[in-house]
Structure 1
Amino acid sequence: MSNRLGAATSPYLRQHADNPVHWREWTPEALAEARERDVPILLSVGYAACHWCHVMAHESFEDDEVAAAMNANFVNVKVDREERPDLDAVYMNATVALMGQGGWPMTCFLTPDGRPFFCGTYFPKPQFLRLLAAVAETWRTRRAEVEETSTRIATELRSMASGLPGGGPAVSPELCDHAVAAVLADEDRQHGGFYTNRAAAPKFPPSLLLEALLRNHERTGARAPLEAVERSCAAMARGGVYDQLAGGFARYSVDARWVVPHFEKMLYDNALLLRVYAHWHRRTSNPLARRITEETARFLIDDLGVGGMFASSLDADADGREGLTYVWTPEQLRDVLGDDDGRWAAALFRVTDQGSFENGTSVLQLPEDPDDPVRFDRVRAALLSARRARPQPARDDKVVTAWNGFAITALAEASVSLGIPDFLDAATRCAANVVELHLVDGRLRRAGLGGRVGESAAILEDHAALATGLLTLHQLTGDPDWLTTALALLDSALEHFADPDRPGHWYDTADNAESLVLRPADPLDGATGCGASLIAEALLTAAHLAPQQRADRYAEAAEATLARAAVILARAARSGGHWLTVAEAAVRGPLQVAVACDPQRSELLSAARQLAPGGAIVVGGPANSSPLLAGRDRIGGADAAYVCRGRVCDAPVTTVGELRDALGAAV
């Protein structure tokens, strides 16, 4: 036996390739080995940017004593949760059910056929050694109890995964307003964001809820949703959770005031937040929104760009210390900037002798804009240059299909909001590379590394997020290839992920994917939208871009999917941020704006893209160049915009003012 992670396509797995533990990837061969040896599977799940995953690896998996106990009594399987979210979902549900909470690293003990019988998270070395001995002894001497327990747990997990109850209210403007009121009731009005407990900490960027609130404001004109967005977005942008030197957001804040982050930076967070800040700027022209939008987009391109696509994350640690790259003392500022600028920067960035982090260091904040922008730019450039000489966090270069789909959509929308074509170019390059690499013989894959696609099949969120990104590019470029590929992805999703017996219910894994203890079907949104809410967005958009016969099928599937989720908006709106985002678009029709014009020169088309609310479909081109422009032409030599809500259309308009009035009608 030996460690077999050296050839993995996951950087996280490769980090463990030199462990004395005889790690395997999750494969049929690993499960067969457990059956042949008649030993349990020890499943360890984590990801590259996880601080406590690194701690447990150093304490236990690099230790010969621990490795000997693991190798003697278990088949040891290491899983990257980002590469195999299906496995992560199944065994995280088991961990939460057994322990009351979950997290990473996740440590599960399974029967050789994959049924869990004991689960936990991080274990210090002494406790882990005792656990290994106890589990091995129980397996040898109390097998019947293990079998009974694992069967009972597997049965309960299948029951939990049965899906949402039917019979919820209809998706309507009133239901959306009810959900928004429930979300706003949980807002931390002092610090921004939303309460998760009495301490309001830890606090995660609520990107999905913020996008939903913006869309509600656009539909209703209500100020409260917009004001909540502005409080949250300003607080995050000015706090330590945002990198004040290089741009980009950390995963979360450990405190309620967004001061001290957990320092890893994830692609999905930054892509989803980029979409929110671009939307905020497009709606309000707020200068802070503009700056954060541009800096976050540049962070994606400059710091996460890999092979024309985007890497998964930057680690929280550098040289074995969390936050080492990012924190400062007053003395360090003076060493780089000199006494005068050093003192000015310390006051501006709230760097104190006491510090806001560990050992007297401070995380940079920017509570207010500097009074001297030129000096600020000079100081920031000098500090960033000095910071680059420090140890840098490792980057997980794995390219995840869904997260790159988020980035495609966000960069394309940012290009519209800020008028920066480079961002659309980056989105287009990413899409071309992902489609070329990850679409293999008509079936989508989950991830790749270094130009080599992995074996893991794509899940529902991958199909949905990539399709939405491609549909966004089609609207902005008019390129029919993006539409063709997006519709093929949706057809594949309908064939392989939709439940044929329950319209609107979706599985996260395909019908011909590897059979696990259960087939996951998570209906709730988390840090990202669940697969079902993401596919609802893509179907809703495609229903108004596709040829009629396919469009009707997409519209019916979108309607059924949203209807099944209405119970979430009615009872648990905080867990339905993306559902609410999609519902806000749906109850407006969704809005479609088709501009008969020369798309390269049309001021009316540019205005339509700026004025249209989130989730609206906007196309431009000559008459009959797309289904939305069938029989629709310029009027009297002027560009004409045709505005529709669902299947009902207004009279065409030819001026920006008329278009603004047409799009501003509340629902």
Structure 2
Amino acid sequence: MSDRNTTARTPGGPNRLIDETSPYLLQHAHNPVDWYPWSEEAFRLAEETDRPIFLSVGYSACHWCHVMEHESFENEEIAAILNESFVSIKVDREERPDVDQIYMTAVQLITRRGGWPMSVFMTPDGRPFYGGTYWPPVSRMGMPGFRDILVKLRDYWQNKKDEVETSANQLSEAIQDMAAPVFQSAKLGEETLKAAVEGLLRIADRKHGGFGGAPKFPHPMDLRFLLRGWERFHNGDVLDEDVLDVIQLTLKKMLNGGIYDQLGGGFHRYSTDAYWLAPHFEKMLYDNALLVPVYLEAWQVTGDQEYERCVRETLDYVLREMTSELGGFYSTQDADTEGEEGRFFVWSLDEVRQLLGERESEIFSAVYDVSQNGNWEGHSILNRPKPLDQVAEELKVDVKELAESLDRSRSILFEARSRRTAPARDEKVLTAWNGMMISAFAQAGVALNEPKYLSAAQAAADFFQLHMKGSGKELLLSYKDGRSRFRGYLDDYACLIDGLVELFRATGSDQYLEESLELADVMIAEFWDPEQGGFFFTDNDHEKLIARTKEVQDNAVPSGNGMAATALVKLGQLTGRSDLMERAINTLESFGELLADRPQAVGQALIALDLVVGPSRQLVLVESEDEKGASKLGDWTRSQFLPRTTILRKDQFTESKIISSVIGDKETRNGATTAYLCEGQTCQEPVTSIEELERQIRNNP
């Protein structure tokens, strides 16, 4: 917690949030509420004046955060109650995920659900005693009004302090018990992986894809694990076909649904319904960073060009709209435009007709579900409910002619949309999310042989080397407006390490591997739990909160422990450092019971376990002088799904001092591009044809 001199609010002027860099906090800087950032100053004032703290947590792209601001925090009467009887603190959950985790646990204990905006009341020493999410300003439709809650809690604080203290103590104890859960050990191995595949299949939605009902989230880690499960256990039985069916149904439904931006590429946050039509329209960097590898790997498995199109469109969207001049990637784009959710993305039939003309608008509307009444609140969210060949048959149009018409129409509508007021963009550059996106760009750059994607990954990695290091070797969390701020958390280290490892594998440049090893050493020194194993979310020198959490379950992003295990396995296998492998295995074993019993909560950890179980291999490709960068064997290896195989192209890795022993003196045979498939120190016979290499791979999965 920093103790800083913040600008006090003057009547009619901005409040203390005006000194912040977070767009979310700055959105509230002109509220009549006398907001404080999370700081010692705020807690000290609460203690000195004996006032409870009102903590409000959200993020810039959150629709209901905007609603509560407009209804309550801009309300002079409500602001007066807050200013007189409470100390109000506003937190951006993307800057302080540690605060968000702790007090979200409190809200979930109180209400049995969570979400943002998060609203918590607590004692001056930070113990929560009441909380919820969005409240309307006055009571309506069975929901208590925020003003009434404030009045009642003020009365409790002044007249029933004993009850408040009891509640605060009970909640704090419960949070501490849940903060770093201890699990039973469980034997982890191939049977764990198979049981996890079967467990995920049991909760899969066989009609609309995905898992569970509305609201429906993409679950990218689970889908990537299922792809690995399919690859590992693939032997032609019914289970194998079922796994691939579940994966493809989900990917197709999302890609054709309203959750995907059919004009501009990229995914919205999640679907409010069970069938992927109506999203919350904000676009988060992390969703797109996590979904790109899913579609890329599905393309490698199936060869489906729609998946490749999705990867390219999504990454091109990130390059176009979410990349800073310095190379880092921005965080989010808002759901709202001009006060309306989704306004930027939806269409009316009249608009489409005016822009495209009668015939082409008929084709476009039939494909993308545009109608007079709309499919969402009187408007049309673009989606593709029918296959193109079916629409072509219904319209009696040649499929090729239909596709050409759609290309023209999408271009026209995209250009027209670009003239609308664009959603606000949160230009914070966050370390963990950038690590995920570096990984996505690096993997796609190799698989698709696309230099601009590798260049984007390298530029982002260079940005972090220049701007996101503290006074020592530690990482910082956030960069905006020339300021790097906040100590990095476990997921910042783990995700950036993973991104740098993938970038090393893509380029052969030792600087990325050396940096990832340096960060891994810091992560182990600062976050490791020597008693129970695994990693804490905050480092050893972090501000002391009411609990020190340990994140083991995935949410919208991978858990810090799951990603740390993944990154350490990759590093250990590349460098031969057994200590890194041991930390990864110990991490997985520390919550082995969860992997065995609740696979839907630990997709990233299961991906790490798949690597641990192995076998892990290296495929060294030595290209002939005549075929450098363009050999059929090289192109084939790029397009294959080989999740436990590191592909090393000799011309890229010859200068690498760290793994030069793997490359060794391997040379071409008979002047042709040659592949060496190795496991540990043992390599199979070198081969020069796709057929021979495929036979080696399939015979040694």
Q: Distance in 2 between matches of 1:68 and 1:615?
A: 60
Partner of 1:448: 479
Contact 1:297–1:411 (8 Å) recurs in 2 = yes
Q: Distance in 1 between matches of 2:586 and 2:409?
A: 54
Q: Distance in 2 between matches of 1:338 and 1:210?
A: 41
Instruction: Please report how far the alpha carbon of residue 512 of structure 1 lies from its aligned counterpart in structure 2 after TM superposition.
Output: 0.7
CA distance 1:652–1:567, shift in 2 (3 Å): farther
Instruction: Please report how far the alpha carbon of residue 396 of structure 1 lies from its aligned counterpart in structure 2 after TM superposition.
Output: 0.8
Instruction: Please report how far the alpha carbon of residue 258 of structure 1 lies from its aligned counterpart in structure 2 after TM superposition.
Output: 0.9
Contact 1:611–1:663 (8 Å) recurs in 2 = no
Among residues 191, 198, 205, which one is paired with 1:188 in the alignment?
Answer: 205
Among residues 216, 221, 224, which one is paired with 1:203 in the alignment?
Answer: 216
After superposition, what is the alpha-carbon deviation per residue over 1:397-431, rounded to whole angstroms, capped at 9, x for unaligned?
11110001110101111122222111111111111
Alignment of 1:297-308 (within 5 A): 297-307=315-325, 308=327
Partner of 2:559: 530
RMSD: 1.9
Partner of 1:19: 31
Instruction: Report the secondary structure of 2:20's partner residue.
Output: coil
CA distance 1:642–1:323, shift in 2 (3 Å): same
CA distance 1:216–1:143, shift in 2 (3 Å): same
- 1:662 paired with 2:696, answer yes
Among residues 262, 270, 274, which one is paired with 1:244 in the alignment?
Answer: 262
Instruction: Report the secondary structure of 1:664's partner residue.
Output: helix
Alignment of 1:144-183 (within 5 A): 144-170=162-188, 172-183=189-200
Partner of 1:395: 425
Among residues 56, 59, 69, which one is paired with 1:47 in the alignment?
Answer: 59
Among residues 515, 518, 524, which one is paired with 2:547 in the alignment?
Answer: 518
Instruction: Give unmatched runs, 5+ long, in structure 2.
Output: 1-7, 10-14, 139-144, 235-239, 393-398
Alignment of 1:99-498 (within 5 A): 99-126=111-138, 127-170=145-188, 172-195=189-212, 200-221=213-234, 222-307=240-325, 308-358=327-377, 360-367=378-385, 368-369=387-388, 371=399, 372-441=402-471, 442-454=473-485, 456-498=486-528
Among residues 499, 502, 517, which one is paired with 2:532 in the alignment?
Answer: 502
Task: Answer with 312-321 or 155-164: which moved more.
Answer: 155-164
Instruction: Please report how far the alpha carbon of residue 40 of structure 1 lies from its aligned counterpart in structure 2 after TM superposition.
Output: 1.1
Q: Distance in 2 between matches of 1:191 and 1:666?
A: 36
Q: Distance in 2 between matches of 1:34 and 1:352?
A: 55
Q: Distance in 2 between matches of 1:555 and 1:597?
A: 31
CA distance 1:665–1:67, shift in 2 (3 Å): farther
Q: Distance in 2 between matches of 1:628 and 1:653?
A: 19
Q: Distance in 1 between matches of 2:691 and 2:539?
A: 48
CA distance 1:145–1:278, shift in 2 (3 Å): same
Partner of 2:682: 649
Give the number of aligned pairs: 655
Contact 2:55–2:119 (8 Å) recurs in 1 = yes
Q: Distance in 2 between matches of 1:154 and 1:641?
A: 59
Q: Distance in 2 between matches of 1:55 and 1:481?
A: 46
Q: What letter corresponds to residue 156 of structure 1 in structure 2?
A: A
Q: Distance in 2 between matches of 1:447 and 1:467?
A: 16
CA distance 1:486–1:15, shift in 2 (3 Å): same
Task: Answer with 67-76 or 25-34: which moved more.
Answer: 25-34
Q: What letter corresponds to residue 263 of structure 1 in structure 2?
A: F
Q: Distance in 2 between matches of 1:17 and 1:117?
A: 27
**TM-score, with structure 2 as normaliser:** 0.90
Q: Distance in 1 between matches of 2:155 and 2:256?
A: 54
Task: Answer with 572-581 or 160-169: which moved more.
Answer: 160-169
* Poorly superposed stretches of 4+, deviation over 6 Å: none
Contact 2:24–2:60 (8 Å) recurs in 1 = yes
Q: Distance in 2 between matches of 1:58 and 1:387?
A: 27
Q: What letter corresponds to residue 665 of structure 2 in structure 1?
A: D
Q: Distance in 2 between matches of 1:341 and 1:487?
A: 55
After superposition, what is the alpha-carbon deviation per residue over 1:20-69, rounded to whole angstroms, capped at 9, x for unaligned?
11111111222112112211111000011110000000001111111111
Partner of 2:19: 7
- 1:96 paired with 2:98, answer no
Partner of 2:5: none
Contact 2:180–2:548 (8 Å) recurs in 1 = no
- 1:634 paired with 2:647, answer no
Q: What letter corresponds to residue 156 of structure 2 in structure 1?
A: T
Instruction: Please report how far the alpha carbon of residue 114 of structure 1 lies from its aligned counterpart in structure 2 after TM superposition.
Output: 0.7
Instruction: Please report how far the alpha carbon of residue 144 of structure 1 lies from its aligned counterpart in structure 2 after TM superposition.
Output: 2.1
Instruction: Give unmatched runs, 5+ long, in structure 1.
Output: none
Contact 1:402–1:463 (8 Å) recurs in 2 = yes
Q: What letter corresponds to residue 298 of structure 1 in structure 2?
A: D
Q: Distance in 2 between matches of 1:586 and 1:223?
A: 25
Q: Distance in 2 between matches of 1:627 and 1:593?
A: 17
Instruction: Report the secondary structure of 2:57's partner residue.
Output: strand
Q: Distance in 1 between matches of 2:371 and 2:641?
A: 45
Contact 2:54–2:89 (8 Å) recurs in 1 = yes
Contact 2:468–2:476 (8 Å) recurs in 1 = yes
Contact 2:624–2:668 (8 Å) recurs in 1 = no
Q: Distance in 2 between matches of 1:665 and 1:397?
A: 49
Instruction: Report the secondary structure of 1:538's partner residue.
Output: helix
Contact 1:642–1:649 (8 Å) recurs in 2 = no
CA distance 1:592–1:451, shift in 2 (3 Å): farther
Identical-pair percentage: 37
CA distance 1:83–1:94, shift in 2 (3 Å): same
Instruction: Please report how far the alpha carbon of residue 520 of structure 1 lies from its aligned counterpart in structure 2 after TM superposition.
Output: 1.1
Q: Distance in 1 between matches of 2:524 and 2:312?
A: 36
Q: Distance in 1 between matches of 2:654 and 2:319?
A: 36
Q: Distance in 1 between matches of 2:366 and 2:439?
A: 38
Contact 2:183–2:592 (8 Å) recurs in 1 = no
After superposition, what is the alpha-carbon deviation per residue over 1:109-141, rounded to whole angstroms, capped at 9, x for unaligned?
111111101111111112111111111121112
Instruction: Please report how far the alpha carbon of residue 627 of structure 1 lies from its aligned counterpart in structure 2 after TM superposition.
Output: 4.5
Instruction: Please report how far the alpha carbon of residue 265 of structure 1 lies from its aligned counterpart in structure 2 after TM superposition.
Output: 0.8
